[in-house]
Amino acid sequence: MIRSNAEELVRRTMAMFVDEEVIPVARELDEKGEFPKELFKKLADMGILGIRYPKKAGGSGGNTTLYCIAVEELARGLMSLAAITAMQCLMATNGLYLYGTEEMHEKYLRPALRGEKIGAFQLTEPEAGSDLSAVTTRATKTRDGWVINGMKTWSTSGPYGDFHTVLCQTDPDKGLKGLMFFFIPADTPGFSHSKKFDTLGTRTSSLSEIYFNDCHVPPEYMLGELGRGLDVLLTILAEIRIMTAALALGLQRAALNASIRYSKERSQFGKEIAKYQLIQAKISNMAVNIEASHLMVYNVTHLIDNKIPCLNKASMGKYFATEGACKAADEATRIYGAYGYSMEYDVQRYYRDNRFLLYGGGTHEVLQTTIAREFLR
């Protein structure tokens, strides 16, 4: 695949940052489970948090391809840092960028792209995951705006978010057509959150429940035209899915690199285990999946950058790359043998972190159904 000079520059810059700044502290950060403030700010200073947005909005003037390159490289170093960055660059800020007023841009968007404020994105509820028609968080019209009541769960950056983009139901009788996104600052009276979840993986990425108890917001905090809430989501759904695929691609590369390195260091029966065909088969399969994932991911990002509809291709990319990440992480632990069961080696983190990829952007059971529907209609 032919790459532009900008793509090569972003990849080289991010690869160097990951090798020098992220990988040396990744294990410590994962064990502490704390928000990586210093690395997050360094990424902001590099212009990565605004990589998707035009310079006039405070961004770096990039596109979806550059964004996915950046988060892919970050995932190679530490998945949870990549997830936090991906959230800030896309879901947490896109609605604000598209529908926020200039005052909202100055107060929230520009500081977010500088790493001074953290955003979060709220879709999921206890009974509304894949089924958005089950959303019960309610936005009720008032004389001077809207009042929000309800709760969300599995909120990435929820405990630290300075502002939140929240999917609400404005009219239950209208079903999906009643859904709308609202912008809710964390200092809004009635807003609160639970303690951080204790998760299996992506441990520096803070997740929590979010509560809304009579949260009053002005009319301009409704993001988009009433009755077109799902359209707001659809404008970035392909990006969400292919971004998740890029994260998976980065994890696959990390697992392959670790497997190659260990297989050349470890000897059994008088020779390196890399000399054995079954180990070579595992390495080969990882490499093939990485190459295929790379082609799928960046075919889709270039389609998005050229404004060509590609949601089904993005769904395929997310499904394929994430399944590949699960296989790569599993095979890496097998190559390491008993050492893959030890917390001393990074492959155990890859094995834990890959589970996160299975849920974000659509579960694979739902994705398989929607992919098939495209061909069977």
The pLDDT tens digits of the residues spanning 153-167 come to 999 888 999 999 999
Across residues 254-283, what is the average pLDDT? 97
- Do residues 188 and 262 both lie within one domain? no
- Among the candidates 227, 252, 278, a domain finishes at 227
Q: How far apart are the first and last CA of the chain?
A: 32
Interior angle at CA 38, CA 345 and CA 80, nearest 5: 45
Range of the domain at 348: 236-376
Look at residue 99 and tell me whether its pLDDT is greater than 70.
yes
Q: Give pLDDT, residue 260.
A: 98
287 and 349 housed in the same domain: yes
How far is 278 from 178, CA to CA, in rounded Å? Answer: 55
Domain end point (choices 184, 199, 227): 227
Would you state the structure tokens that stand for residue 11, as one six-digit string? 């990849």
Q: Is the pLDDT of residue 3 over 80?
A: no
Which CATH number goes with the domain that contains 86?
1.10.540.10
Give residue 364's pLDDT: 92
Predicted confidence (pLDDT) per residue in 291-300, tens digit: 999 999 999 9
pLDDT in tens, 307-339: 999 999 999 999 999 999 999 999 999 999 999
Sign of torsion over alpha carbons 302, 56, 223, 165:
positive
CATH code (residue 286)? 1.20.140.10
> 110-141: per-residue pLDDT in tens?
999 999 999 999 999 998 888 888 999 999 99
The predicted model gives 252-272 an average pLDDT of 97
> Do both 106 and 178 map to the same domain?
no
Residue with tokens 């894949």: 130
Give the pLDDT confidence score for residue 87 in this predicted structure: 96
| Whether the predicted pLDDT of 1 surpasses 70 | no
Shared domain check, 128 and 22: no
Q: How many independent structural domains does the chain possess?
A: 3
> Is pLDDT larger for residue 319 or for residue 229?
319
CA pair distance 138, 149, nearest whole angstrom = 5
On whether both 94 and 137 belong to a single domain, the answer is no
Top-confidence range, 95-109, 115-129, 218-232: 95-109
Whether residue 184 is found in the same domain as residue 286: no
**Section 339-362 average pLDDT:** 94
Query: Residue 2 has what pLDDT?
Result: 62
Tell me: do 109 and 90 sit in the same domain.
yes
Side-chain-side CA neighbours of residue 217 (13 Å) = 29
Give the mean model confidence (pLDDT) for residues 186-205: 94
26 and 133 part of one domain: no
Domain boundary among 209, 227, 245: 227
Q: Is the pLDDT of residue 342 over 70?
A: yes
**Mind spelling out the 3-state secondary structure of the chain?**
CCCCHHHHHHHHHHHHHHHHHHHHHHHHHHHHCCCCHHHHHHHHHCCCCCCCCCHHHCCCCCCHHHHHHHHHHHHHHCHHHHHHHHHHHCHHHHHHHHHCCHHHHHHHHHHHHCCCCCEEEECCECCECCCHHHCCCEEEEECCEEEEEEEEEEEECHHHCCEEEEEEECCHHHHHHHEEEEEEECCCCCEEECCCCCCCCCCCCCEEEEEEEEEEECHHHEECCCCCHHHHHHHHHHHHHHHHHHHHHHHHHHHHHHHHHHHHHCEECCEEHHHCHHHHHHHHHHHHHHHHHHHHHHHHHHHHHCCCCCHHHHHHHHHHHHHHHHHHHHHHHHHHHHHHHCCCCCHHHHHHHHHHHCCCCCCHHHHHHHHHHHHHC
Q: Hey, what are 309's tokens?
A: 């509809």
> In this structure, are strands 145-156 and 207-217 parallel, antiparallel, or unpaired?
antiparallel
The answer to whether 147 touches 212, Cβ cutoff 8 Å, is: no
- Residue 89 has a pLDDT of 96
Whether the pLDDT of residue 285 is over 70: the answer is: yes
* Number of residues assigned to the chain: 377
| Residues 105, 141 share a domain | no
Per-residue pLDDT reduced to its tens digit, 32-57: 998 999 999 999 999 999 999 999 99
Do 337 and 287 fall within a single domain?
A: yes
Nearest-angstrom CA–CA distance, 257 and 259: 5
Pairing of strands 145-156, 191-193: unpaired
Same domain, 142 and 34: no
CA–CA separation, 203 and 205 (whole Å): 5
Work out whether strand 119-122 and strand 163-169 pair parallel, antiparallel, or are unpaired: parallel
Mean pLDDT of the chain: 95
Rounded alpha-carbon distances, angstroms, from residue 230 to 180, 181, 226, 320: 7, 9, 10, 25
Tell me: do 187 and 317 sit in the same domain. Answer: no
